Amino acid sequence: MARPETNPDPAPPFLEVRSLTKYYPITKGFRRRVTGLVKAVDDVSFSIREGETMGLVGESGCGKTTTARCVLRALEPTGGQILFQTADSGTVDLAPLSRRELRPLRRQMQMIFQDPFGSLNPRMNLFDIVGEPLLVNGMPNRKERQERVAELLGLVGLRPEYMQRFPHAFSGGQRQRIGIARALALNPRLVVADEPVSALDVSVQAQVLNLLLELQERLGLTYLFVAHDLSVVKHICDHVAVMYVGKLVETADTKTLFYSPKHPYTASLLSAVPIPDPRLRSEGIELSGEVPSPANPPPGCYFHPRCAYAIDVCKTQSPLLRQVSPGHFVSCHRAGELPLQGIVT
């Protein structure tokens, strides 16, 4: 999964997700007979190199958040492997681990949440919120914790004097900083950010994005960045994976994906982004219809009912993810032969 200009990396990737699946059963009736499966995540594979940012994009219900939560093992995947390069004990497959086996690994991977109001316990003050990860991971000394919390608050741009305050005293952007400080308390190596700026006001979004970039540089973090806003993804990610109804449709480095997409869904997604410039009013690609439900997807390629380029094979056969150029994977029967356009400049 190397970029075209760099040599293929001999070392195993930092995080490699292989054929990840997460199915939810649909039950019916009193005896809860299983009548079907919702394939929330269906055979998703990607990998991230250390210190880079992978963006997972897609519309609501595409499975991007489920994928991210499976990677963190907040959810139990139905199948597949999550190969994570730990700091000390080599590569570990997180997928089959039990709650107990996961606990020592938790400190290496943390999450930043979308909702800055729901993700902080309103009954705890900042010291407890940011210091809790330290406390439960073996730092019982209060004084030591206080020093570390002060340091962390400084790192995310909050005054250490705020330690005694409760979350209700802070605005959305500040709460998001608190959430980041908590996530960073254990010096994680992988940070999963689930729509970290979409609940924030426009004028505050940029502050948080800058902070995330700055922290990545200073601490060498690896991000898995889940978002629906393509402008934000383009701004922060090195690689992007596009999902549609639980499946990965295209993944490439950001530049390739945004300027020469090879999947018709990616292209229409890009053209649908409203550009904040009245001189660039594009009519874009008209996508008819809407995202199908993962409980009842169409046969063949899930995108074919909305695709302008669909041919007979698309209606019957599900396309496989294949490499069209180094590091650029597309799941489309007609990848490479379509006249698709990326973002206009």
Partner 1 sequence: MGNKTDKEGAMVTLEGGGEPLLSVRNLKVHFPMDEGRVRAVDGVSFDVQPGQVVGIVGESGCGKSVTMKAILRIVEPPGRIVEGQIMYHSRASGEAGTSKVRGTIDLVGLAPNGKEMRDIRGAEIALIPQEPMAAFSPVHTVGNQVIEAIRLHRDLSKSAARQLAVDTFRDVGISMPEQRIDSYSWQMSGGLRQRAMIAMALAANPRLLIADEPTTAIDVTTQAQILRLLRKLRFEYNSAIIFITHDLGVIAQMADYVVVMYLGKVMAQGPVDDLFHNPLHPYTQALLRSIPSVQSAPRVKLPTISGSIPHAFNRPKGCPFHPRCTSFMPGVCDRDEPELKAVDGRQLVSCFLFRDTPEVANGQA
Partner 2 sequence: MEESLDTAPLLKEAIPEDRVSVASNAQLVWWRFTKHKPALVAMVVLFMFFVVLLFPAFFSIQEPELTDAKLAFIPSQSLHLFDGAKLRPWVPTVVGKRNPTTLRMEWKIDASKKIAVRFLSQGYPYKIFGLIPTRLHILGAVRADEQNRIYLLGTDRLGRDQWSRLMFATQTSMTIGMVSVALSIFLGVLLGGISGYFGGFVDLVIQRLIELLQSLPTIPIWLALSAALPRDWPPTRVFFAITIILALIGWTTLAREVRGRFLSLREEDFVLSAELVGCSRMRIILRHMVPTFSSHIIATSTLAIPVMIISETSLSFLGLGLRPPAISWGVLLQEAQNIQTLALAPWLLIPGLVVVIAVLAFNIVGDGLRDAADPYGK
Can residue 256 be called a binding residue for partner 1 (CB under 8 A)? no
- What is the Cα–Cα distance from 67 to 55, expressed in whole angstroms? 12
Nearer Cβ to partner 1 (66/85)? 66
- Closer residue to partner 1 (CB): 185 or 233: 233
- Rounded to whole angstroms, the maximal C-alpha distance in the chain is 68
Q: What's the Rg (C-alpha) of the chain?
A: 21
90 binds, among partner 1, partner 2, none (CB under 5 to 8 A by kind): none
HEC profile for 105-169? HHCCEEEECCCCCCCCCCCCCHHHHHHHHHHHCCCCCHHHHHHHHHHHHHHCCCCHHHHHCCHHH
CB of 243 to partner 2, least distance (A): 21
Q: How many CB atoms are located within 10 Å of the residue 243 CB?
A: 26
Beta strand 239-244 with 247-253: parallel, antiparallel or unpaired?
antiparallel
Q: Does 31 bind partner 2 (CB under 8 A)?
A: no
- Positions in 258-277 near partner 1 (CB under 8 A): 258, 268-277
Does residue 93 sit in helix, strand or coil? Answer: strand
Q: Which residues pair with 85 in a beta bridge?
A: 91
CB of 131 to partner 2, least distance (A): 10
Which residue, 88 or 277, is less far from partner 1 as judged by CB?
277
Scan for tokens 């943390």, then name that residue. 110
Given 13, 55, 63, 133, the residue binding partner 2 (CB under 8 A):
133
> Per CB under 8 A, which of residues 111..150 are in contact with partner 1?
none
Tell me which residues in 66-105 interact with partner 2 (CB under 8 A): 72, 74, 103
Indicate which single residue of 70, 221, 232, 248 sits in contact with partner 1 (rule: CB under 8 A). 232
The one segment of 1-9, 39-47, 88-96, 162-170 that binds partner 2 by CB under 8 A: 162-170
4 binds partner 1 (CB under 8 A): no
Interface with partner 2 (CB under 8 A), residue from 94, 185, 237, 307:
185
Q: CA–CA separation, 188 vs 223, rounded Å?
A: 10
Going from the C-alpha of 50 to that of each of 9, 47, 226, the distances in angstroms are 11, 10, 17
Q: Which of 41, 111, 211, 230 forms a contact with partner 2 (CB under 8 A)? A: 111
Cα gap 334→173, rounded to integer Å:
44
State the residues that interact with partner 1 by CB under 8 A: 59-60, 171-174, 201-207, 209-210, 213-214, 228, 230-232, 234-237, 254-255, 258, 268-281, 283-284, 286-287, 290-291, 343, 345
